[in-house]
């Protein structure tokens, strides 16, 4: 079974057609067809159904796909390991992170990494922490950044980078900004602009409110912190967000951090990777760089948080 046939098979699956696969691989379409036919002949079963000009995987094709993906991954890792001499790293890094970290923690790391190792391709996947952890367990991601309370997972190595302070924010003209201290009872009749269900810091906030008999309205949910910030500044309600995501708006006076008892209301940024998955040189360097940047985050956190 030739590896190039498997790569072609995966490209047809990815692009959805022989024509698109040929274009992406810079092959003649007849070459793609011949390779798939050779693979089907070797395996003794069709891998695709051709229905009304659509290409669909057969049951055999679906069963072959994860094995082909793993072979392709190991092929790339082998080439990367052999070619990784000095600073000439190559290969692909698949990194996952929730939106908050992708926007406010990862850019300086990725910028420095790309300056040092331009041959490494970085594919960044945003998502919820639970989803990203599952993709990491399945080997579909190399590194995952998490924003949540402390967790334990025997399959994953999870390193603390920095503790993140939360902020309960309001538009500048909101009546609660006049209070010296905001109590949970003051939020009973307020509109809270929620992050998606299951978000780590939404869960944290709900626990505090639920202890006081206050339950958030589930009909108002956002998948984007940026959307929540814009709606808060527009006067639609209050929001409970990581301080790093609202720091600029607070400094510019576009929002106000309410004087809220935030005792035990912390989430943390973690970096995680699989304990049983081989770690490429590029992955090792990226993890080292993340820890280096985290040292700066921890030093600057105290000063920034004192502004609240």
The pTM assigned to this predicted structure is: 0.67
Residue 307 included in any domain: no
Do 146 and 275 fall into the same domain? yes
Q: What is the pLDDT of residue 306?
A: 45
Domain finish residue from 41, 63, 83? 83
Task: With CA atoms as reference, report the closest residue to 264 among 195, 217, 184, 207.
Answer: 207
Number of structural domains in the chain:
3
Classified as helix, coil or strand, 126 is strand
Q: What is the pLDDT of residue 305?
A: 46
Do 257 and 298 fall into the same domain? no
Do 156 and 274 fall into the same domain? yes
Do 149 and 119 fall into the same domain? yes
The CATH number covering residue 288 comes to: 3.40.190.10
Do 255 and 297 fall into the same domain? no
Do 152 and 295 fall into the same domain? yes
Digitized pLDDT (tens) for each residue of the chain, 308 residues in all: 788 899 999 999 999 889 999 998 888 889 999 999 999 999 999 999 988 778 899 999 999 999 999 888 888 777 666 655 545 677 889 999 998 899 999 999 999 999 999 989 999 998 888 889 999 988 889 999 998 877 777 788 999 999 888 899 999 999 999 999 999 889 988 999 988 877 888 888 888 889 888 887 766 788 888 999 999 999 999 999 999 999 999 999 999 999 987 766 778 999 999 988 888 889 999 999 999 999 988 887 654 444 44
Classified as helix, coil or strand, 153 is coil
Domain finish residue from 55, 83, 111? 83
Q: What is the pLDDT of residue 82?
A: 63
Domain finish residue from 83, 107, 132? 83
Q: What is the pLDDT of residue 84?
A: 54
Phi, psi of 236 (to 5 degrees): -80, -20
Q: Where are the beta strands (DSSP E) in 171-265?
A: 194-195, 221-222, 239-242, 256-257
Q: What token pair was written down for 70?
A: 């793993």
- What is d(CA 216, CA 209) in angstroms, rounded to the nearest whole number? 8
Residue 308 included in any domain: no
Do 261 and 177 fall into the same domain? yes
Do 112 and 157 fall into the same domain? yes
Residue 119 included in any domain: yes
Residue 184 included in any domain: yes
The CATH number covering residue 63 comes to: 1.10.10.10
Judge contact between 197 and 172, C-beta under 8 A.
no
Residue 26 included in any domain: yes
Do 153 and 127 fall into the same domain? yes
Q: What token pair was written down for 8?
A: 């072609």
Burial class (CB in 10 A: 0-12, 13-18, 19+), 308: middle
Q: What is the pLDDT of residue 236?
A: 92
Q: What is the pLDDT of residue 164?
A: 87
Do 176 and 127 fall into the same domain? no
Judge contact between 225 and 241, C-beta under 8 A.
yes
Q: Biggest alpha carbon distance in the chain?
A: 76
Do 174 and 256 fall into the same domain? yes
From residue 38, alpha-carbon distances to 47, 98, 136 in Å are 11, 42, 33
Rg of the Cα trace of the chain? Answer: 24
Residue 174, sorted as left (phi over 0), alpha (psi -120 to 50) or beta, turns out to be beta
Q: What token pair was written down for 256?
A: 């106000």
- What is d(CA 272, CA 143) in angstroms, rounded to the nearest whole number? 6
What is the CA 252 to chain-centroid distance, rounded? Answer: 28
- What is d(CA 36, CA 72) in angstroms, rounded to the nearest whole number? 16
Residue-range definition of the domain harbouring residue 19:
3-83
């Amino acid at each position: 079974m030739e590896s190039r046939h498997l790569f072609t098979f995966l490209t047809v699956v990815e692009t959805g057609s022989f024509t698109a696969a040929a274009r992406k691989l810079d092959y003649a379409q007849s070459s793609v067809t011949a390779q798939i036919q050779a693979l089907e002949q070797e395996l003794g079963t069709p891998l695709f159904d051709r229905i009304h000009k659509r290409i669909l995987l057969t049951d055999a094709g679906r069963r072959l796909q994860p094995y082909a993906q793993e072979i392709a991954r190991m092929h790339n890792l082998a080439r990367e390991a052999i070619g990784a001499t000095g600073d000439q790293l190559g290969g692909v890094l698949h990194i996952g992170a929730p939106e908050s970290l992708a926007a406010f923690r990862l850019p300086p790391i990725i910028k420095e990494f790309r300056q040092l190792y331009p041959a490494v391709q970085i594919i960044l996947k945003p998502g919820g922490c639970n989803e990203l952890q599952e993709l990491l367990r399945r080997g579909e991601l190399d590194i995952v950044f998490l924003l949540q309370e402390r967790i334990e997972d025997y399959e994953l190595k999870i390193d603390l980078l920095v503790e993140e302070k939360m902020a309960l924010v309001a538009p500048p003209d909101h009546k609660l900004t006049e209070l010296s201290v905001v109590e949970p009872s003051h939020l009973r009749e307020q509109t809270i602009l929620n992050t998606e269900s299951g978000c780590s810091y939404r869960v944290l906030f709900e626990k505090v409110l639920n202890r006081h008999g206050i339950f958030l309205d589930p009909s108002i949910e956002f998948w984007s912190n940026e959307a929540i910030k814009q709606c808060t500044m527009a006067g639609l309600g209050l929001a409970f967000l990581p301080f790093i995501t609202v720091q600029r708006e607070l400094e510019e006076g576009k929002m106000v951090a309410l004087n809220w008892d935030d005792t035990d209301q912390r989430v943390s940024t973690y970096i995680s990777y699989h304990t049983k998955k081989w770690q490429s040189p590029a992955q090792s360097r990226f993890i080292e760089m993340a820890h280096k940047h985290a040292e700066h985050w921890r030093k600057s956190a105290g000063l920034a948080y004192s502004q609240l």
